[in-house]
Amino acid sequence: MNCRNLLISIVIFILPLSLFSIQPSAVSATSDAPHPLPYVSPKMEESEFWIRKIKNPDRVFVKPEEIQRMNGHNLKRDDLYLFSLTDMPKELSREEMFACLKEDWEGFVVPGETRYGREGSPLGKSFWDELEQNLNRESLKEKNQARLGLITNRTDIRVFPTEEQSKALPGQDPFDRFQHSSISPGSLIAIHHVSKDHRWTYVQTQFVRGWVQTAAVAIAGERKEALEYQGAKERLVVTGSFVRVFGDPLLRQLLFLAQMGNSFPLISRPAHGGTVEPSYIINIPVREGDGRLTFGKGYIPANGDVREGFLPYTQDNVARQAFKMLHEPYGWGDISGTRDCSRFIMDVFASFGIIMPRNSKFQGKMGKDLGEMERKKIDEKKRVLDRAVPLATVLRLPGHIMLYLGKDRGRYYAIHNIWGIQTKRPSGPVLEKIGRVVVSDLSLGGSGPHGSLLQRITDVRLIEPDGIFP
């Protein structure tokens, strides 16, 4: 087997920067976009506005057992770059590990290209040499055990074992090319390698591989410990955008923030009438001093935005989940506790137990294709959207993805997390910074050099098991 057979390639995870994550050098100026955006009324920024347009919004669109079958099928699809950690080989050879590390390096280190660090200075030869040494290739054995573990705190997964940033331009470039994503507490991981300084661990997640801080990794003594935790049937699901998890029944010691779609084995329900604040008690992974996995208790207030089990997959629920994140900030790769466009989509559908790829390109391959959009005229694209199911359909264009809301007064609308949009002014192209989750109509960007959202859409996908519904 080679690296690509065993582990998801990180090279395809980073998309080229597009209209929505644009290079500052490509525009003559930047400005803040108006709020609300053109053709968006205050009422359109409420979920009820869109729910009222739907007949039977409470209809269960896909049943839980069908979602489970869909997840199982999608985990086996090569084109989605998802990965079933339960099928992880128990060991990898030195050659396989070398191949993975080489693929990472060649995918992100471009000879002759200057990258800039956090302070705006170029990343010089000494930086790259030290980074390569920290990969710790020399410690790899002929056979390397692939252990399972759990993430104990929300942490970043990085291309390389470093907190240094890699930017195309010095200054205010918000796009760190070393940042893959965030990983949530309780996430199952396969553990393959450690950095030379032991501060970083090389792991495989369900959607990408990379380096996480060792302090956030708890290693299972036996694989079944981690697998049983992940497979626990009775679970508390986070339905708020973020929910606080405490380490004590008095709710004074904040452990971490759990985000929408995260789930944890449920220990007990709130008991009212006692001397402490009633709380849900969940099972959480704990890292001992030697790195071993043990388990502890986490406390979530009884009035927290959580529920037992995943939400029913209805258009009503999709709307309410999406609008809980309205106006929250954009952050490439979830940097600093934020979300980007694809994480927004991922978390909405995770509320229903639906596993989505992390990358917008592969999210645009999920579910049922509603019609060819690439190279179609605007009228043809509108006819496809007229058949689309609001609040169950994603709209993908190069480097970006949106949730379709529906139609109002002849205009088509979506909710999405967007960095900015290029417009054209007499002085030249201007980047209008948005930087948050917004409702917009699909004519947004029409005056810019790349065209409107509608003009750029390439995929319209109904998120359901392909072939079940007409």
pLDDT at 111: 86
- 302 belongs to a structural domain: yes
Specify whether 41 is located in the same domain as 170: no
- 469 belongs to a structural domain: no
* Residue showing tokens 């390569």: 132
Please say whether the beta carbons of 321 and 403 come within 8 A.
no
Half-sphere exposure of 253 (CA within 13 A, CB side): 7
Tell me the whole-structure pTM to 2 decimals: 0.94
Specify whether 296 is located in the same domain as 430: no
- 73 belongs to a structural domain: no
Of the residues 206, 229, 252, the one at which a domain ends:
229
- 334 belongs to a structural domain: yes
Of the residues 308, 343, 368, the one at which a domain ends:
308
Specify whether 223 is located in the same domain as 326: no
Specify whether 347 is located in the same domain as 416: yes
Q: What letter does residue 312 receive in the DSSP assignment?
A: P
Question: In whole angstroms, what is the distance from residue 50 CA to residue 54 CA?
Answer: 7
Nearest CA among 354, 358, 366, 357 for reference residue 333? 358
Specify whether 289 is located in the same domain as 429: no
Please say whether the beta carbons of 174 and 309 come within 8 A.
no
- CA distances to 19, 183, 413 from 39, rounded to whole Å, are 21, 36, 10
Domain that holds residue 105: 3-10+78-229
* Residue showing tokens 């869109």: 50
Question: In whole angstroms, what is the distance from residue 361 CA to residue 461 CA?
Answer: 12
Specify whether 290 is located in the same domain as 320: no
Specify whether 243 is located in the same domain as 154: no
Specify whether 338 is located in the same domain as 393: yes
Alpha helices in 284-404 (DSSP H): 315-323, 341-350, 360-363, 378-387
Specify whether 443 is located in the same domain as 368: yes
Q: What is the pLDDT along the chain (470 residues), one digit of tens a residue?
A: 456 445 444 433 333 333 343 344 444 578 888 888 999 999 999 999 999 999 999 999 999 999 999 999 999 999 999 999 998 899 999 999 999 999 999 999 988 899 999 999 999 999 999 999 999 999 999 999 999 999 999 999 999 999 999 999 887 788 999 999 999 999 999 999 999 999 999 999 999 999 999 999 999 999 999 999 999 999 999 999 999 999 999 999 999 999 999 999 999 999 876 667 899 999 999 999 999 999 999 999 999 999 999 999 999 999 999 999 999 999 999 999 999 999 999 999 999 999 999 999 999 999 999 998 988 999 999 999 999 999 999 999 999 999 999 999 999 999 999 999 988 877 778 889 999 999 999 999 998 888 999 999 999 999 999 854 43
User: What CATH number corresponds to the domain at position 383?
Assistant: 3.90.1720.10
Specify whether 429 is located in the same domain as 446: yes
- 470 belongs to a structural domain: no
Question: In whole angstroms, what is the distance from residue 286 CA to residue 185 CA?
Answer: 10
Question: How many Cβ atoms from other residues are within 10 Å of residue 470's Cβ?
Answer: 3
Specify whether 35 is located in the same domain as 170: no
H-run or E-run covering 460: strand 459-462
Of the residues 275, 308, 341, the one at which a domain ends:
308
Specify whether 322 is located in the same domain as 355: yes
- 72 belongs to a structural domain: no
Domain count, the chain: 3
Nearest CA among 71, 82, 61, 60 for reference residue 12? 82
- What order of strands is seen across the sheet that includes strand 368-369? 29-32, 428-441, 411-425, 400-408, 393-397, 459-462, 368-369
- 16 belongs to a structural domain: no
- 467 belongs to a structural domain: no
Alpha helices in 64-140 (DSSP H): 64-75, 94-108, 125-134
Question: How many Cβ atoms from other residues are within 10 Å of residue 381's Cβ?
Answer: 22
pLDDT at 275: 62
